[in-house]
Amino acid sequence: MKLYSTNNHDLKVDFQSAVFNSMPQDKGLYMPAEIPVLEAEFLENLDQYTLPEIAYTIASALLHEDIPAEDLKALIDDAINFPAPVKALSDDTYVLELFHGPSLAFKDFGARFMSRVMAYFLKDGEKMLDVLVATSGDTGGAVALGFLGVPNTRVTILYPKGKVSEIQELQLCSNGQNIRAIEIDGTFDDCQALVKQAFADDELNARMRLTSANSINISRLIPQTFYYFNAVAQLYKAGKREIVFSVPSGNFGNIAAGLLAYKMGLPVKQFIAATNVNDTVPRFLETGVYETRPSVQTYANAMDVGAPSNWIRIMELFKQDTLKLKELVKSYRYTDAETVQAITDIYEQFNYVACPHTAIAWLAVQAYKTGYPSAEETFVFLSTAHACKFPDVFPEEIAAKIDVPAQLEELKKRAQSAEHMGVDFDAFKAFLLAGEV
Ligand SMILES: *Cc1c(COP(=O)(O)O)cnc(C)c1O
């Protein structure tokens, strides 16, 4: 696969360089130069295929020049080793559960695939890959668990002290092996600034092989297309055809993957982008003006993004055709009060506990149904995280119904360890150099 930069269509790189560099030097984003449309035979018979088969078919259409078939198959089986079930809540409403991976959030799809692709491209005897990642919560856990035990890699996670949930912290600090956590006495922005400064530091780059694991890496986007096709496959089995996906969105990577899947032939009628009050995209679709704003903290904190980095990818997919995009993607925003009310409504109507991000996606389905009534459609809202990751948001009665997965009980028994640092770059740099190999 060849990729171009959204800032320079003439710049073309291969998949391996796009994976290791994450971002072109011109600060654009990498996009596939050609998007293959999957065979009609495959698309019409999706319900005959399993998730690993679907994943392989998609990945191979994109990456057959980059990774030989047998290796790609093995890589996918190793990365996507957990299910993505679609569960019926009523005759026309389904929830796509994307939280059955090790970190209990959908970011496991991207992080596990990316870690294995990077490990695959690392040649024997090459310098160890040092992955630096700043996290506000979910990304760090998915990246840590994605790289855990992957040979010739090491991950250093920076997280802001007192600003991640207890379970998120447990996932960051209980790994050992090739994963190191640093608790920074500062904000998420401070963590991100330290990581950026490290990437810009000549001495560090000369002595270590640094790479980033942030969400704009193209190898995180690709595996997120798999579950859209797999969801349609499951709905075909249930005799459902006109499918509408509602995606809780922050950085817009998840829905960008859905729209990439659409371009590859995903049979779907409509997308809904659901946001919290960080509503840059809903405002853009209403007014035509794209105006980013500083992010505002909400209960759905993984969606607290004022300048969604993947939006530019979506505009590229639609060749800047805003009208086409507005037809296919409807967008709605919700406040914290509406989110908490939705958690209660979903619980009362369906006896189902949804995390705050998931509840926002459900709310957007209700708005869409009111705005565009049709008897034929089937609605699928994406559940991006397990409710147990956000215990403080729930009314007590509902919180008591959340089952905590067994894997978390295991984590609690393990030793926790983190380094503690301020926001001083020299201390962070000295820490990195001390671990030089
Ligand atoms: C990251 C995240 C989101 C937002 O996904 P984007 O791809 O950034 O739009 C939504 N929900 C949860 C639980 C997340 O961790």
Which atom of ligand 1 approaches the CA of 256 most closely?
7
Measure 81 CA to ligand 1 centroid, in angstroms.
20
Mind spelling out the 3-state secondary structure of 302-355?
HHCCCCCCCHHHHHHHCCCCHHHHHHHEEEEECCHHHHHHHHHHHHHHHCCCCC
Would you say residue 398 lies in a domain? yes
Between CA 385 and CA 402 the distance in angstroms is: 13
Measure 263 CA to ligand 1 centroid, in angstroms.
21
For the segment 137-190, what is each residue's pLDDT rounded down to a tens digit? Answer: 788 999 999 999 988 999 999 999 988 888 899 999 999 999 999 999 998 888
pLDDT of residue 392: 86
Would you say residue 425 lies in a domain? no
For the segment 204-253, what is each residue's pLDDT rounded down to a tens digit? Answer: 999 999 998 877 899 999 999 999 999 999 999 999 999 999 999 999 99
Which residues neighbour 265 within 8 Å (Cβ) at sequence distance 6 or greater? Answer: 37, 38, 40, 43
CA 414 and chain centroid, separation: 27
Average pLDDT over residues 417-436: 95
Q: Which has the closest alpha carbon to 143: 229, 217, 76, 74?
A: 217
Measure 437 CA to ligand 1 centroid, in angstroms.
34
Average pLDDT over residues 388-414: 89
Would you say residue 260 lies in a domain? yes
In which domain, by residue range, is 260 found? 82-104+221-404
Between CA 347 and CA 354 the distance in angstroms is: 8
Return the residue matching tokens 């998609």: 58
Would you say residue 169 lies in a domain? no
CATH number for the domain spanning 261: value is 3.40.50.1100
Strand-strand pairing, 2-5 and 8-14: antiparallel
The answer to whether 246 touches 365, Cβ cutoff 8 Å, is yes
Return the residue matching tokens 């209990």: 104
Strand-strand pairing, 270-275 and 2-5: unpaired
The helix/strand/coil state of 400 is: coil
Q: Which has the closest alpha carbon to 76: 116, 17, 120, 124?
A: 116
Q: Which has the closest alpha carbon to 340: 359, 324, 323, 365?
A: 359
Mean pLDDT value across the chain: 94
Average pLDDT over residues 316-342: 97
For the segment 276-296, what is each residue's pLDDT rounded down to a tens digit? Answer: 999 999 999 999 999 999 888
Backbone CA torsion sign across 245, 250, 256, 261 = negative
Identify the band that residue 328 occupies on the pLDDT scale cut at 50, 70 and 90: very high
The answer, yes or no, to whether any atom of ligand 1 lies below 6 A from the CB of 247, is no
Angle between helices 188-199 and 425-434 (to 10 degrees): 60
Would you say residue 230 lies in a domain? yes
Q: Which residue's alpha carbon is nearest to atom 14 within ligand 1?
A: 302
The answer, yes or no, to whether any atom of ligand 1 lies below 6 A from the CB of 385, is yes
The answer, yes or no, to whether any atom of ligand 1 lies below 6 A from the CB of 298, is no
Between CA 332 and CA 325 the distance in angstroms is: 15
The answer, yes or no, to whether any atom of ligand 1 lies below 6 A from the CB of 159, is no
Number of domains composing the chain: 1
Q: pTM of the predicted model, to two decimals?
A: 0.94
* H or E element that contains 229: helix 218-237
Give ∠ CA 166-107-252 in degrees, rounded to 5.
115
